[in-house]
Amino acid sequence: MNTIVTIAGLGILSMLSEIFHFKKQLFVLILLGLAAAIGISVMEWDTAYSYYNHMVLIDNYAIAFSVLLMSVTLLWFLMSQSYFKSESSMEAHAAIILFALCGAICMTCFSDLSMLFIGLEILSISMYVLCGSDKLNKRSNESAMKYFMMGAFATGFLLFGIALIYGVVGSFNLTDIATYTGQNVNNLPMIFYAGIVLLLVGLFFKVSAAPFHFWAPDVYDGAPTVITAFMATVVKTAAFAAFYRLFATCFSSVFTFWIDIIAIVAALTMLAGNILAVYQTSVKRMLAYSSVAHAGYILMALAAVSQSSKGAIFLYLIAYSLSTLGVFAVLNIIHEKKLSDDVSVFNGLAKSNPLAAAMISICMLSMAGIPPMAGFFGKYYIFLAALNSGFTWLVLMAVLSSLIGVFYYFRIVMAMYTGKNETTAFEIKGLPLFFLVLSGVLSVIIGLGTNFIVNLL
Amino acid sequence: MSKDLLYILIAPLIASFLCLLIGKDGVKKFALAISSLIFLFSSHIFFEIGKHGGSVYQMTYPWIPSLGISFKIGMDGISFLLVILTTFLVPLIILSSFNREIKTEKSFYALIFLMQFALIGVFTALDGFLFYIFWELALIPIWFICLMWGGKDSKRITLKFFIYTLAGSLLMLVGLIYLFLQTPGEHTFDIEAFYNLQLTSSQQSFVFWMMFAAFAIKMPVFPLHTWQPDTYTDAPTQGTMLLSGIMLKMGVYGVIRWLLPVVPNGVSEWMGVAIALSVIGIVYASCMAIVQKDYKRLIAYSSIAHVGLISAGVFANNEAGLQGAIFQMLSHGVNVVGLFFIADIIFNRLGTRNTDELGGIANNQRFFTITFVIIMLGSVALPLTNGFVGEFLLLNGVFAYSGYAALFAGLTVILGAVYMLRSYKAIMLGDKIISNEKFAPLAASEKAVLIIVCAVVIITGVLSQPLLEISEPAVKNLISVINR
C-alpha cells in the first residue's frame, strides 16, 4: 500500500516541480523515489495484508509483480533520458508515467472487481494521453485516437462483464465470488458465464490477443518510441498480472469453461503475431507484432491453470521486458536521428560496434527462445505447465510459431553481422550502451538463476 | 579424479573467452596450443575408461532442484570416444586454418571453442534438460560461423539450416518434457529415471517420433536432409569440418543414449521405418554424389550416405550394429575432415572445385596425391583402413535385422567406390600439367594435417581392437538396459 502512495506522491511531486523550480533535479529524484518504492515493496514481503475493506490485498504475488513493474519503469526512465531532455513539458510526462505505474500496481494487488476497473482505467487513460504526446505528429495523434476508441470499447465489455458477475454473486469481492462459484458450480445461471466471456473479451483487448489485436500494431507504431517501449512492457505485464489474478482466484472452480477459450485464443494469437511479423519491414512494427505473439505464449500458461503457471508467467514477463527494453533503447536512438527503421539500418553494426551487436543478438535470441537466454526458460516453464495440463496440441502450435519467430528475429541479427556497410548511421554509446549491456547480461544471468525467480511465487 | 571431466568440459569455454582477449597476432597459435592441451588432457583417461561398463567420472550438482534439473555429467566408453573425437578434431581443424586468411580471427576461434564446449556437453550430459541446453548451444556458434564466414548465399542457407534444426530440437524438448512428466513422484530429468520408466506403447511411439525428429534432422536422415548439402557447401571449410566431423555425431549419439534405452518398445515398433529411411538415404545420397560436379558438394552427399549406414546400424539395435556405429563415427569424423581439407586445398590454389575443370594435379604433386589416395581409400572402406572396420560391423548388424536391408545398405560400398574413384580420376589424373606456380607446394601446416589424418586412417584401421574394447562394456551395458 505504501508503494502506491509513494508512487502517487512522486507523480504529484513531478507536477509541482515546475512551480517550485526543481525541474533539473527531478530526473534523479524520480529514480531515487522509484528505488525507494521498490525497497518499501520488498520490505512487505511475506506479510499478506488487506486494505480498504478488502479492496486491496498486498500478497507476495502482488509484491513480486509490483517490484517487476517498478524495476521496469526505473530502467525505462534510464532508457528514455534523452526523450525527457528533448521534451518541453518533461515533468507532465513523467507525472503521467508515474500515475500509469500507479494504475498498473493497482492491477496487481486488487482483490475487488471495482479496484481492478479503477486500476485499469488509471493506466489506460494515462496511456491514451502519452500515445498522443507527440502533438505535431499525425501518426501519434492517430495512435492516441485509435487506442482510445478501442480501449473504451474494451472497457465497456469489461464493465458489462463485471456488472453481470455482480448481478449473480452480489459482491465485487474476489473471495466472495470464488466462494460463491465454488458452492454453486452446477447451477450457475447463464448470465454468469456471459459475464466471464465479457471479462475475457475485455482482457483479451488489453493484452492484444487475437482476434482483438488489430489496434496494437498501429498504436505501437504511431506512439513515440519510448512510449511504445512502456506499453510493450509495463502495460502488458500489468494486464497479465490482473488477468491471472482474476481468473485463478475467482473462476478456478469453473475452469473447464474458460480454459479452452483461452487455449484457442492463445494459439491464434501466437500464430497471427508471428506470421504477420514476418511481413513487416519496419522494425518497430515488427516488434509490435512480436509483442502480440508473446502475449499468445503467456496466454498458454493461463490456460494451463496449474500451480506453476504464475511462476512461468512472471519469469516470461521478466525475460520479455528485459529484451524488449534493450531493443527499444536502440530503436529510440534510431528514431531520434529520424532514420527509417527498416531492418537494413542495422547493417554493419557488428563491425562498428561489436559489443552492441552482441548484446542486441542476445536480446533477439532471448525473444526467439534460444537457450541459455532467459527467454528460453520462460518458454520452457510455459511448455511444461501446458504439457502438464494435457495441452499437447497447444505446445506443438507454440513450437511451430516459435520457428516462424526465428525468421524475423534473426533478420536483425543477420543484418548486423552480414551487412556490407562499415559503419552505421547511428551510434550507440553512453547510457543507452550501458543499458543495452545491462539487459543482455541480465538476460543470460536470469537464464541461469531461474530456480530463485520461479520459486518466489 | 572425477573432476577431470569437469575440467575437460570447462576448458574450451575458458579458451573461448581468452581468444577474445588475446592480441590479434597470436590468436591462431594460442588456439592451437590450447586445443592440443585439451586433447592431451582428455586422452589420459584412455587407459582407465575401458574397464567400466557404466558411467564413470559421474558428477552431479543441483541446478534447478524444484524442477528435478541437475547438472549431471558422466562418461562411459561411448561418451569417451566421442569426446576424444571432438578434442582430437578441434586442434586439427584449427591447424587446417593456419595457412588461410580469416577475417576477424578472434571471434572465429572463440566460436570454435564455444562449439567444442557445447559438443563435449552434449556427449557427457546425463540430465535430459542439460542435454537439451547443450544441444541447442551447439547450434548458435556454428550458425554464426556459417553466417559470417560462409559464401555468398549464406543468409538464406543458414536460416534454413537453423530453422530445420530448431524444429527438431523443439520437438525433442516436447518429448523430454513429456518423459519428465511421466517420472514417478518428484519429477526428474535424470537419465536413470528415464531408463526406468514404464510407458505404454502409444506413449513410447509419441516420444519416439518427437525425439527421432531431432536426431534425424541433425544426422541427417532422408527425407530430412535437404538443409545439409547447401549448408556444407556454403559454410567455410572449418565450419563444414565441425558440422560433418562432429556435429553430425550428436544425432547418432542422441539415438544411442536418449532414444534406444528410453523407449525400447517404441524403437522396436518403428525401427523398420527408421532403417528403411536410412537405407533409402544411403542409395539416394550415393546416386546424388555420383552426379555432383562440385567436389565439396559430392563429399556432403557422401556424408549423408555414410551416416545413413550408421543410423541403420544403430536402429538395428544389436551389439555389432552399435559397435560398428560408434567406430564408424570416429572413422567418418576423421576421414571427412581429411576430404574437406583436400577440397579446400584444391579450391585455395585453383579457385574451383568443379571436377570438370580440374585434372592432372597428380602429375606434379606426389605428397598430396599419396595422402589423397589414403584418405579416399579410408572413405571407401578398403580393408586395413579405418572405414572398413566400421562398415563391416555395421553391415553385420543390419544383416542381423534383415538380409534385404543389408543388401541395399551394402550398395554404399560399391557406390561409394564409384563416386570416390571417379572424382579422384577427374581431379587428379589426366594429361593436364599444373605447374608449381599455379599449385603452390603444401605448407607445413597443411602437410601436418594430411599426415595426421592419414596416420589415423591406417593406425586405427589396423589396430582397431583397443578402440572397440573401450566402447564394448558400455555397449553391452546399454543393450542390457534396452532388454530389461
Check CB contact of A78 with chain B, cutoff 8 Å.
no
Give chain A positions within 8 Å (CB) of B178.
387, 392
Q: For A371, which residue in chain B has the nearest alpha carbon?
A: B133
Q: For B139, which residue in chain A has the nearest alpha carbon?
A: A370
Q: For B164, which residue in chain A has the nearest alpha carbon?
A: A403
| β-strands A49-51, B56-64 pairing | unpaired
What three-state secondary structure class fits B62? strand
Check A370 against B132: CB less than 8 A apart: no
Instruction: Give the HSE-up count for residue A181: Cα atoms under 13 Å, Cβ half-sphere.
Output: 26
C-alpha span between B259 and B314 (Å, rounded): 10
- What lies within 8 Å, CB to CB, of B366 at 6+ separation is none
Instruction: Name the strand (E) or helix (H) holding A425.
Output: none
Check A403 against B174: CB less than 8 A apart: no
Q: For B210, which residue in chain A has the nearest alpha carbon?
A: A396
The pLDDT value recorded for residue B48 is 66
Residue B50 has pLDDT above 70, yes or no: no
Of B133, B147, B158, the CB nearest to A372: B133
Give the confidence band of B117 by pLDDT, cuts at 50, 70, 90. very high
The pLDDT value recorded for residue A70 is 93
The pLDDT value recorded for residue B234 is 85
Check A365 against B136: CB less than 8 A apart: no
- Which amino acid, one-letter code, is at A137? N
C-alpha span between A234 and A254 (Å, rounded): 30
B267 CA to chain A: closest CA distance, Å? 21
Q: For B163, which residue in chain A has the nearest alpha carbon?
A: A403
Check CB contact of B136 with chain A, cutoff 8 Å.
yes
What three-state secondary structure class fits B108? helix
Please, which residues bridge with residue A173 across strands?
Answer: A112
How are the residues of chain B apportioned to helix, strand and coil, as percentages rounded to the nearest 5?
A: 75, 5, 20
CA B299 vs CA B326, B327, B411, B416: distances in Å:
21, 20, 17, 10
The pLDDT value recorded for residue A317 is 92
Q: For B107, which residue in chain A has the nearest alpha carbon?
A: A354
Give chain B positions within 8 Å (CB) of A371.
132-133, 136-137
Give chain B positions within 8 Å (CB) of A410.
159, 162
The pLDDT value recorded for residue A293 is 92
Q: Give yes or no for a contact between B94 and B38, defined as CB atoms under 8 angstroms apart.
A: no
What three-state secondary structure class fits B56? strand
Q: Kindly report the CA angle at B239 between B238 and B244, in degrees rounded to 5?
A: 100
Check CB contact of B132 with chain A, cutoff 8 Å.
yes
C-alpha span between B60 and B75 (Å, rounded): 12
One DSSP character per residue, A62-108 reads HHHHHHHHHHHHHHHHHHTHHHHHH-TTHHHHHHHHHHHHHHHHHHH
User: In total, how many domains does chain A have?
Assistant: 1
Q: Give yes or no for a contact between A285 and A226, defined as CB atoms under 8 angstroms apart.
A: no
Q: Tens of pLDDT along B300-309?
A: 999 998 888 8
User: Which of A393, A410, A416 to mutate: most B Cβ within 10 Å?
Assistant: A410
User: Which of B140, B156, B172, B234 to mutate: most A Cβ within 10 Å?
Assistant: B140
CA B439 vs CA B128, B347, B359, B364: distances in Å:
50, 10, 12, 9
For A170-189, where are the alpha helices, taking DSSP H only? 174-183
Of B162, B167, B171, the CB nearest to A410: B162
- What lies within 8 Å, CB to CB, of A3 at 6+ separation is A37, A40, A41, A44, A66, A70, A105
Check CB contact of A194 with chain B, cutoff 8 Å.
no
Of B154, B162, B177, the CB nearest to A418: B154
Check A399 against B170: CB less than 8 A apart: yes
Q: Give yes or no for a contact between B123 and B83, defined as CB atoms under 8 angstroms apart.
A: yes
Q: Which residue has the cell 515493496?
A: A41
Q: For A400, which residue in chain B has the nearest alpha carbon?
A: B167
A–B interface: beta-carbon pairs under 8 A: 71
Segment B31-43 shows an average pLDDT of 86
B150-179 residues touching A, CB cutoff 8 A: 154-155, 158-159, 162-163, 166-167, 170-171, 173-174, 177-178
Check A370 against B144: CB less than 8 A apart: no
Burial A344-353 (b: 16+ CB within 10 A, else e): ebbbbbbbbb
Of A402, A418, A455, the CB nearest to B170: A402
| Residue among A329, A148, A310 at smallest CA distance from A230 | A329
Check A406 against B66: CB less than 8 A apart: no
pLDDT averaged per 10 residues, chain A (length 457): 86 84 80 89 82 84 91 89 74 89 91 91 92 85 90 91 91 89 86 91 89 88 89 92 89 85 92 90 89 92 83 90 90 82 81 86 89 87 87 88 88 82 74 86 84 76
Nearest 10 degrees: Cα torsion A252, A255, A257, A261: 110
Residue B103 has pLDDT above 70, yes or no: yes
Give chain B positions within 8 Å (CB) of A391.
none
Check CB contact of A392 with chain B, cutoff 8 Å.
yes
Burial zone of B37 (CB within 10 Å; 0-12 exposed, 13-18 middle, 19+ buried)? middle
Segment B319-346 shows an average pLDDT of 89
| Residue among B183, B205, B62, B67 at smallest CA distance from A385 | B67
- What lies within 8 Å, CB to CB, of A285 at 6+ separation is A217, A220, A221
Q: Which residue range(s) make up the domain with B432?
A: 3-482
| Residue among B70, B64, B189 at smallest CA distance from A453 | B64
The pLDDT value recorded for residue A162 is 93
What are phi and psi for residue A110, nearest 5 degrees?
Answer: -65, 150
Check CB contact of A313 with chain B, cutoff 8 Å.
no
Give chain B positions within 8 Å (CB) of A392.
174, 178
The pLDDT value recorded for residue B267 is 86
User: In total, how many domains does chain B have?
Assistant: 1
C-alpha span between A337 and B178 (Å, rounded): 49
Of B63, B154, B166, the CB nearest to A403: B166
Check CB contact of B401 with chain A, cutoff 8 Å.
no
What three-state secondary structure class fits B55? coil
Of B133, B162, B181, the CB nearest to A371: B133
B20-79 residues touching A, CB cutoff 8 A: 63-67
The pLDDT value recorded for residue B51 is 59
What are phi and psi for residue B95, nearest 5 degrees?
Answer: -60, -35
What are phi and psi for residue B372, nearest 5 degrees?
Answer: -60, -45
Handedness of CA B475, B478, B482, B484 (dihedral sign): positive
- What lies within 8 Å, CB to CB, of B264 at 6+ separation is B204, B482, B483
Check B170 against A371: CB less than 8 A apart: no
Q: For A387, which residue in chain B has the nearest alpha carbon?
A: B178
Of B139, B154, B177, the CB nearest to A383: B177
ipTM over 0.85: no
Q: Which residue has the cell 581429411?
A: B338
Q: Which residue range(s) make up the domain with A406?
A: 2-456
A381 CA to chain B: closest CA distance, Å? 10
Neighbouring CB atoms inside 10 A of A52's CB total 11
Check B64 against A450: CB less than 8 A apart: yes
Q: Please provide the size of chain A in residues.
A: 457
Q: At what angle do helices B139-149 and B105-124 cross, to 10 degrees?
A: 150
Give chain A positions within 8 Å (CB) of B107.
354
